[in-house]
């Protein structure tokens, strides 16, 4: 074999070995990504009024998860609220739940999940849930009291720096069901969005009428939006980005 042929063969072998190494590295990275996938749980059990938009909400959260490489699992099985199952998730999302949806053992598991740094996202009637559980009331921030007919209203962005609101217009007019709450959230809860009661009929809370908020709570994070009653909400890009920002914040995926 001539020196030139020997050099050429060595070059070919080097390229083949390099390609093999790069392939192995890529597979290792892919395996690491799969094993470290962030996951969230969407919980939709109802023991009272059931929103027709729940199916659309699940589909929307799953699509958002796919866009952001986050695994999304949806369930109505309260049995999922145990230490072993909840350990798989970065956050739990109460999507239009109503009434008493967890028993005492399942409640205790959710409390431990939050105390170990887990995240909570409440959407719309998550505030119409678990009235007899004071810890949950503090977690979600406020309980539902009443609402007028669905109508157009104008929202005011109170904190435009948060990931769930920074994309929104300062005054945001939309069609939804507007909750009145039994009381204001606690003083340490940060208000993101308020509603202008002069822009619609049926508001009873006055000049301070919050519609979305967030707070650190009992070792974890909680974010809530009163928006999301209508089917159309879950195809509204502004609302979907608002919702994803809340999920990302609660799951500690974005600061």
Averaged pLDDT, 67-80: 97
Burial class (CB in 10 A: 0-12, 13-18, 19+), 98: buried
DSSP-derived pairing of the beta strands 38-43 and 91-95: parallel
% of the chain surpassing 70 pLDDT: 85
User: Where does residue 75 rank: exposed (0-12), middle (13-18), buried (19+ CB within 10 A)?
Assistant: middle
The model's pLDDT over 40-50, given as tens digits with 9 standing for 90+, comes to 999 999 999 99
| Residue 254 pLDDT > 80 | no
Residue 238 is predicted with a pLDDT of: 98
d(CA 118, CA 239): 24
Q: Which of 228, 224, 189 is nearest to 208 (CA)?
A: 189
User: In angstroms, rounded to a whole number, what is the distance separating the alpha carbons of residues 253 and 247?
Assistant: 8
Each residue's pLDDT tens digit, 176-233 = 999 999 999 999 999 999 999 999 999 999 999 999 999 999 999 999 999 999 999 9
How do residues 77-98 score in pLDDT, each as one tens digit? Answer: 999 999 999 999 999 999 999 9
CATH number of 36-250: 3.40.50.880
């Amino acid at each position: 074999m001539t020196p030139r042929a020997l050099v050429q063969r060595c070059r070919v072998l080097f390229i083949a070995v390099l390609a093999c190494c790069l392939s192995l590295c890529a597979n290792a990275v892919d395996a690491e990504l799969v094993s470290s996938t962030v996951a969230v749980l969407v919980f939709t059990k109802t023991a009272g009024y059931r929103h027709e938009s729940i199916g659309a909400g699940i589909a929307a959260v799953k699509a958002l998860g796919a866009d952001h490489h986050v695994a999304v699992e949806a369930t109505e099985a309260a049995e999922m609220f145990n230490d072993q199952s909840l350990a798989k998730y970065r956050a739990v999302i109460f999507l239009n739940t109503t009434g008493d949806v967890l028993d005492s053992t399942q409640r205790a598991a959710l409390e431990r999940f939050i105390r170990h740094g887990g995240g909570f996202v409440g959407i719309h009637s998550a505030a119409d849930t678990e009235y007899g559980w004071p810890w949950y009331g503090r977690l979600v921030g406020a309980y539902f009291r009443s609402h007028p007919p669905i109508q157009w209203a104008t929202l005011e962005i109170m904190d435009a720096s948060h990931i769930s609101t920074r994309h929104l217009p300062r005054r945001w007019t939309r069609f939804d069901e507007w909750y009145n709450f039994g009381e204001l959230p606690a003083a340490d809860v940060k208000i993101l969005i308020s509603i202008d009661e002069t822009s619609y009929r049926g508001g009873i809370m006055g000049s301070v009428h919050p519609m979305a908020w967030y707070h650190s709570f009992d070792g974890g994070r909680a974010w809530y939006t009163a928006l999301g009653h209508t089917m159309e909400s879950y195809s509204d890009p502004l609302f979907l980005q608002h919702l994803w920002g809340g999920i990302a914040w609660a799951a500690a995926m974005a600061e």
